[in-house]
Amino acid sequence: MSDASHERIDGSAVRLDRQDPYLRLQSVTIYVRDLEQSLTFYLEKLGFQLIFDARVQPNLRWVTVAPPDGTANLTLVAPESGSEQCKLIGQPTQVTFVTENVLAKYREWIKRGVRFQFTPRLKRLRYEVHVRAATAADTSVAGADHSPIWGGVFTRFKDLDGNSFSLVSFDEVTQAVEAQRRDLAEKLEFERRAAQELEIAKQVQARLFPQSQPPLKSLEYAGLCIQARKVGGDYYDFLNLGEGRLGFVIGDISGKGIAAALLMANLQANLRSQCAVALDHPQRLLRSVNQLFCDNTPDGAFATLFFAEYDDTACRLRYANCGHLPALLLHSDNSVERLEATATVLGIFKDWDCEIGEHQLCEGDTLALYTDGITESYDSEDEQFGEQRLIEALQRHRGGSCESALACIVEEVQRFSPHEQHDDITLIVAQHRGN
């Protein structure tokens, strides 16, 4: 079957290329005497679907029905008595319904009480032959060539008002329908496998996030990541660095979806494999991670990262901000410090280094690490949630547990931006409880 033929048969689908303004047949008007009786006939006997039922004027009602397949509709109208439209009731409509099996549809509708003008006939290029009276056991076509160059079976039926319609099938249509079914089956199988693989990827990635939290005496902490898709590129981690030290990590990988998830897994593996050198040399750790990330990722791929090492005994925080959003350090007096970038992003430059910042944490201090899925969530007016709203939310919820603060802040973000989530939302909150 040619491409042109397939396009003609399958022309009901909306084009995606937008090369031309979209155009298709919406409805054909059929004049009837009694709308309620006609509606029952089309819905119950023909198996059509009700599209809409509307009163366009105080005394004029339109009812639109459609066959179960396709996009063209029939609009049923009961004209005023004595009008010109009344003369059209009970006439041939020139409307043709196409099916892949006229005999099957004929038998089905006969049983429902639909009136046919003649039994289905086989029509070919230059001649036609009659089909024997169709019964439930009769499937043969008298004298028919079962593989004609071109041919079709047709008949005509009437509705309650005598309006007549053609019911036809063409060899080309049947072939096209079968081809479409094969294409659809292949597409559904492909989508099923893709969804299954994506679900496996989601489960694998979920295991890359922290599965346990090493206990600290002076600091309570918690983190979460709500992905916009099945998998994503946001990353957070808690690294046990030994000797009462804990590493907080939050990152954002360039890109989205599976590609970003693979890079995220790569970054996580690099950090965990190299974290043994972080105890005394966090700069060496990050230089090594950047080198591995450059070696193992394609050109143009990069990650922003905030790495912090917390000493539980000294209550000291050392950090490196590698092109990430500034972490927020809220003090008990409500003052706020922003832990700005101390290095550029990872994965772009092999000749790379960073500076290490340092802060002493005191009782009542709150540390927040986050990705842009928090601050760049926007409302219906395209206003972003922003850093200031995040600070205010952290101040409101600093008295409760970190898990409670996380849940409340994320709820505020989702309430502020109730539409579809476009970016991963990742947040770590840590609160100093004193020694």
Distance of alpha carbon 181 from alpha carbon 117, whole angstroms: 32
Distance of alpha carbon 290 from alpha carbon 349, whole angstroms: 8
168 and 262 in a common domain: no
> What's the CATH number where 278 sits?
3.60.40.10
Domain range enclosing 306: 206-432
Give mean pLDDT in consecutive 10-residue pieces for the chain, a chain of 435 residues.
38 57 82 93 94 79 87 88 90 89 92 94 54 43 43 88 90 65 82 80 75 90 85 85 90 80 82 73 88 82 92 94 96 93 92 93 95 91 93 92 94 90 90 85
Asked whether residue 247 is assigned to any structural domain, the reply reads: yes
217 and 158 in a common domain: no
The whole-model pTM stands at: 0.59
Which of 164, 181, 198 is where one domain is finished?
A: 181
Write out the two tokens for 224. 């979460």
253 and 400 in a common domain: yes
404 and 357 in a common domain: yes
247 and 132 in a common domain: no
**Cβ partners under 8 Å of residue 254, min gap 6:** 233, 260, 263, 300, 301, 302, 303
Count of structural domains, the chain: 2
N- to C-terminal Cα separation, the chain: 79
| Residue 394 confidence (pLDDT) | 95
Asked whether residue 198 is assigned to any structural domain, the reply reads: no
| Residue 299 confidence (pLDDT) | 78
| Residue 126 confidence (pLDDT) | 42
270 and 146 in a common domain: no
247 and 125 in a common domain: no
| Residue 57 confidence (pLDDT) | 73
| Residue 143 confidence (pLDDT) | 42
283 and 157 in a common domain: no
| Residue 406 confidence (pLDDT) | 94
> What's the CATH number where 176 sits?
3.10.180.10
| Residue 352 confidence (pLDDT) | 92
233 and 149 in a common domain: no
Asked whether residue 353 is assigned to any structural domain, the reply reads: yes
Asked whether residue 75 is assigned to any structural domain, the reply reads: yes
Residue whose C-alpha is closest to residue 394's, from 386, 372, 434, 340: 386
| Residue 127 confidence (pLDDT) | 38
166 and 222 in a common domain: no
221 and 147 in a common domain: no
